[in-house]
Amino acid sequence: MDAALIALGLSLKVALWATVIDLVLGVGFGYLLARGRFPGRDVLDAVLTLPMVMPPTVLGYYLLVLIGRNGPIGHWLQQHFGINLIFTWQGAVIAAAVVAFPLVLKGARSAFEAVDVQLEQAAHVLGVSPLGVFLRVSLPLAWRGVLAGTLLAFARSMGEFGATLMVAGSIPGKTQTLSIAVYEAVQAGQDDTANLLVMITSLTCVIVLVAANRLVPNRAQGAA
C-alpha cells in the first residue's frame, strides 16, 4: 500500500508539472496560431500537434535520442549544467508534457479563435498594449476553452506510460508512476498489487473528472 501511495504521489507530481508547462506553452502558441498571419502557420500547427497522433513509444524514442546523454540536447545539458534528464522525474515531466501538449494547444487555439477580433481591436484603439489586450480581453474571454484543454492534458499526463517508460525508466520512488507500476506488477505476476494500483488510478481519475465538471459549468446552467 505504501508503494502504491508513493507511485500515486509521483504520478500527481509529474502530471501537475507537465500540465503547468503545457498551459504556458499551449496558451502562448495557441494565441499565436489563432491570430498570427505568417507563412508556414499551418505547418507549425501540424508539427505542434504531431505528438497527439504519434504512438507514445515513438515519441519516447525521439525524446530519448534528443535528451539522452549522447543526444544533441542531452549532451549540451550535461556539458553546461551537469544535468541529465534520463531516469529522473524531470525527464518523466518532459515526456508527459510533450505527449499532452497538443490537448492544451488545440483547446487554446479554438478558444482564442472564438474571441471576436473586434474586441481586441477596440482595446488597441483605447491605448492598451498588445500584452495588455491579451491579458485583459483575449484570455478572460477564452479561459473556459483553455481550462477544458488543460484538464484533458492533466488526465493524459496522469495516464502517460510509453514515452515515460522510455525516457524515465521504471525506478520505484523516483520515476515509477502509477501506470508503469501497474505494468510492472502484471509483468511480475503480482495480480493483487496490480488490482490495487488500478483501483487507485481509477478513483483519482474519477475525482479529477468530477471536479472538472463542477469547475466548467455547462452552457445551459447560467449566463456566460
Partner 1 sequence: MKRIAAVLLICAAGAASAAEITVSAAASLSNAFREAAAAFEAAHPGDRVLLNFAASDALVAQIAKGAPVDVFASADQESMDRARPHLAPGSRRDFASNRLVVAVPFGSKLDLRTLTDLRQPAVQRLTTGNPASVPVGRYTKGALEKVALWGELEPKFVFGTNVRQSLDYIARGEVEAGLVYQTDVASQAEKVRTAMVVPTTTPITYPLAVIKNGPNPAGGRAFAEFILSPGGQSILARFGFGKP
Partner 2 sequence: MTIRLNIRKALRSGTRNFQLDAQFESASKRVVIYGASGAGKSQMLKAIAGLSRPDSGVIELDGIKVFDSSAGIDVPARKRRVGYLFQDYALFPHLNVRQNIGFGLQRGWFNPAPRGEPEAVRYWLEAFGLEEVAHQRPAELSGGQRQRVALARALVAEPGALLLDEPFAALDPALRVRMRAELDTLQRRLDIPMLMITHDPDDAATFGGHVLTMADGRVAGEGSNG
Q: Extract the C-alpha cell encoding 122.
A: 477596440
Q: Which residue has the cell 540536447?
A: 73
Q: Is 129 in the site for partner 2 (CB under 8 A)?
A: yes
User: Per rule CB under 8 A, is residue 169 in the interface with partner 1?
Assistant: yes
- Using the rule CB under 8 A, give the single segment among 22-30, 136-144, 152-160, 207-215 that binds partner 2: 136-144
Q: Does 198 bind partner 1 (CB under 8 A)?
A: no
In this structure, what C-alpha cell is assigned to residue 68?
Answer: 539522452
Question: What does the CA dihedral 163, 168, 169, 172 come to, rounded to 10 degrees?
Answer: -120
Q: Is 184 in the site for partner 1 (CB under 8 A)?
A: yes
Q: Does 82 engage in binding with partner 1 (CB under 8 A)?
A: no
Determine phi and psi for 174, rounding to 5 degrees.
-115, -50
Contact residue for partner 2 among 9, 28, 36, 132 (CB under 8 A): 132
Task: Annotate 127-146 with b (16+ C-beta within 10 A) or e (fewer).
Answer: ebeeeebbeebbbebbebbb
178 contact, one of partner 1, partner 2, none, CB 5-8 Å limit per kind:
none
* Alpha carbon distance 92, 56 (integer Å): 13
User: Could you tell which of partner 1, partner 2, none binds residue 94, using a CB distance below 5 to 8 A set by kind?
Assistant: none
The answer to the question of residue 188 lying near partner 1 (CB under 8 A) is yes
Q: Can you read off the three cell numbers belonging to residue 165?
A: 517508460
Tell me which residues in 140-199 interact with partner 2 (CB under 8 A). 140-141
111 is an interface residue for partner 2 by CB under 8 A: no
Q: Which candidate, 143, 138, 147, 152, places its Cα nearest to that of 224?
A: 143
Q: Which parts of this chain interact with partner 1 (CB under 8 A)?
A: 64, 68-70, 86-87, 165, 169-171, 183-184, 186-190
Q: Which parts of this chain interact with partner 2 (CB under 8 A)?
A: 116, 118-119, 121-129, 131-132, 135-137, 140-141, 223-224
